[in-house]
Structure 1
Amino acid sequence: MTYPIYQIDAFTSILFKGNPAAVVLLDKWLPNERLQLIAMENNLSETAFICPQNAELHIRWFTPTTEVELCGHATLASAHVLFNHEEIEGDEITFHSQSGLLRVLKDDNKLTLDFPLDDFYKVNELPELMRMNIRTQVNEIYRGKTDYMFVFSNQKEIENFIPSLDIIAQLDSRGLIITAPGDEVDFVSRYFGPQTGIPEDPVTGSAHTTLTPFWSKRLGKQKMNARQISQRGGCLTCELRGSRVLIGGGCRTFFKGELYID
């Protein structure tokens, strides 16, 4: 059997920036073991699999080592594929996922994710195993559904942060978000996920379901501009709307091909 596969750079208008994701279009679900092997072979932070079921689109995401419950950039990339290469009609796509219904809206060259916001709470102390490995002052610590979030004072501290990936990998979480006010945008961040095979994720849409409500309250703003300042970097628009978060950005297609699966 052959299946279409695309590689898309998400949360960027420039090729080779943003976060690359593979998007595979299926006509029926393959065994989980086969999906994981495809993601491992692609060796990108995420591979999204889209499959129609009962006239509905279902989406799943795999890192090179595991399946995850939510991924923003690969969902954005999947919508880009459907709108631009598979000629889906309209300006809205709804995906069924492990995290519920996810919408993606199209407005010219911009796509916007409509995701549920994260529930997070303040943690009083730095996790013990991290205490000797943080060289700069962490102002606040939060724990969301899947990630820890460390809040720093300024963008320079985020830029200069040197992660101890072996220590981060021992946190009881999907990964670690670090964030601070931005110099030219409302806030900046980085994301580390060695637990799921991602040392540093270039742009993490799902992390902004935590970042958006946090910075919205802190800054007193519903709409914000954000940058993830990884080596590749990415730009996002963020809006808090009730119990939902709108996360917007551009995409660029890198290639289209075919998978040959026995």
Structure 2
Amino acid sequence: MEIKIFQIDAFTDRLFGGNPAAVCPLDHWLEDETLQNIAIENNLAETVFFVPLSDNHFHIRWFTPEIEMDLCGHATLAATFVIFEHLGCTDTEVMFDSQSGPLKVTKANEYLELDFPSRPPQKATLPKNISDGLNIQPLEVWKARDYLLVYNAEEDIKNITPNIEIINQINIDPGGIIVTALGNADDVDFVSRLFTPQATVFEDPVTGSAHCTLVPFWAERLHKTDFRALQISKRGGELLCRLQNDRVLIKGKAVTYLQGVIHV
């Protein structure tokens, strides 16, 4: 059986930036073991699969090399980019059915805008394995799906060097560790990075789903609803975000790195 495959760099307008995702359009669902093996073979942070329900309505699933995820922003952006740019969809809106409920993605000029659920964090206590594995300790600890660690300044976020061996002793299935602070630049509201213990890709380059927690957190803290956010990983990415009631709208761009066929 032949399956089309695309590799898309999401939340960027340049190759080798943003977060790469493998995108596999399917006519029907394959066995879960096969989907997981494809994700293992791709060895990227996420591989996304989708099956059409109608011309612009799809069922979507996301896999890391280790597990199936409940929500993934950059891979959803990548999948929508493929639907518009490579599969000939002429609508301006795409709907996905997912583990996290209905997700809408809309063409917004040169951007694609994700409509995702808001996941406000609650005050939490940091596990010792995470604390011991951080060279800089946070000022505050919060948690939704992911731990959210708040720091004093952007320089702290840049200078965090996690001890992977120590942090990998904890499993936050399916979550990760977000570190965040206010941005230095006047046009950047906040910055972040995200680490995922026991994952093949320990630091995720750009994480749309993390902003489902970051946006409501900073909205409460800064008393505003519109944000320009940067994820300051080595590859880096830009996200334009808005809190709209219990939803988080996330705009980003994407580019195609490769396309081909796999045989299963």
Specify the TM-score bucket, using the shorter chain as the normaliser: over 0.9
Aligned match for 2:258, one of 242, 255, 258 = 255
SS at match of 1:131: helix
Moved more, 185-194 or 158-167: 158-167
Matches within 5 A, 1:92-131: 92-123=93-124, 125-131=125-131
Aligned residue pairs total 259
Query: In 1, are the aligned partners of 2:133 and 2:167 still within 8 Å (CA)?
Result: no
Counterpart Cα distance in 2 of 1:131 and 1:244: 31
Q: 1:13-55 CA deviation, whole Å, 9 max, x = no partner? A: 1111000001001111110110011011111100000112477
Return the TM-score normalized by structure 1. Answer: 0.95
SS at match of 1:195: coil
RMSD across aligned C-alpha pairs, in angstroms? Answer: 1.4
Deviation at 1:3, TM superposition (A): 1.2
Counterpart Cα distance in 1 of 2:148 and 2:83: 33
Matches within 5 A, 1:1-262: 1-53=1-53, 56-123=57-124, 125-144=125-144, 146-173=145-172, 174-184=175-185, 185-261=188-264
Query: In 2, are the aligned partners of 1:10 and 1:18 still within 8 Å (CA)?
Result: yes
Deviation at 1:195, TM superposition (A): 3.0
Deviation at 1:198, TM superposition (A): 2.4
Deviation at 1:5, TM superposition (A): 0.8
Q: 1:129-169 CA deviation, whole Å, 9 max, x = no partner? A: 3333333231110010x211100010000000001223333
Aligned AA (2:240): T
Gaps of 5+ in 2: none
SS at match of 1:258: strand
Deviation at 1:119, TM superposition (A): 3.6
Q: 1:39-84 CA deviation, whole Å, 9 max, x = no partner? A: 1111110000011247741000001111110000000000000011
Query: In 1, are the aligned partners of 2:230 and 2:237 still within 8 Å (CA)?
Result: yes
Aligned AA (1:248): K
Q: 1:175-219 CA deviation, whole Å, 9 max, x = no partner? A: 100000011210000001133432100000000000000111111
Query: In 2, are the aligned partners of 1:227 and 1:236 still within 8 Å (CA)?
Result: yes
Counterpart Cα distance in 2 of 1:182 and 1:235: 12
Deviation at 1:251, TM superposition (A): 0.3
Moved more, 66-75 or 132-141: 132-141
Q: 1:214-233 CA deviation, whole Å, 9 max, x = no partner? A: 11111111100000000000
Q: Which runs of 4+ in 1 moved over 6 A?
A: none
Counterpart Cα distance in 2 of 1:43 and 1:234: 20
Gaps of 5+ in 1: none
Query: In 1, are the aligned partners of 2:97 and 2:103 still within 8 Å (CA)?
Result: yes
Counterpart Cα distance in 2 of 1:183 and 1:119: 24
Counterpart Cα distance in 2 of 1:90 and 1:131: 47
Counterpart Cα distance in 1 of 2:130 and 2:73: 27
Deviation at 1:255, TM superposition (A): 1.2
Identity of aligned residues (%): 49
Taking a change above 3 Å as real, the CA distance of residues 251 and 111 of structure 1, as seen in their structure-2 partners, is same
